[in-house]
Amino acid sequence: MEEGVVSDGGFARYWFRGIPKVSWNGRIKVSWKERLPVITYRCTGCGYLETYTRKEEP
């Protein structure tokens, strides 16, 4: 497993590699070169969710 964070803004969700740094104004700083799109699948029978990233870089 690899450590990272998931963004929480807008409709686009990304996973960013590594531990983010916090800037002077309290926002996190991440490397946009080190991101992967987040995809979530839902079971139509029970509602169970699974979240993945794709293997290829954007």
For 30-42, how does the pLDDT look when each residue is reduced to its tens digit (9 = 90+)?
A: 877 778 888 889 9
Higher pLDDT, 58 or 39: 39
pLDDT, position 46? 97
pLDDT, position 43? 96
The pair of structure tokens assigned to 49 is 């969710």
The residue extents of the domains of the chain are 4-53
CA dist., res. 30 & res. 21, Å (int): 7
CA dist., res. 39 & res. 22, Å (int): 26
pLDDT, position 57? 57
pLDDT, one tens digit per residue, over 3-37 is 888 887 666 688 888 888 888 888 888 877 778 88
Residue the block writes with tokens 């079971």:
43
Beta strand 35-42 with 28-29 is unpaired
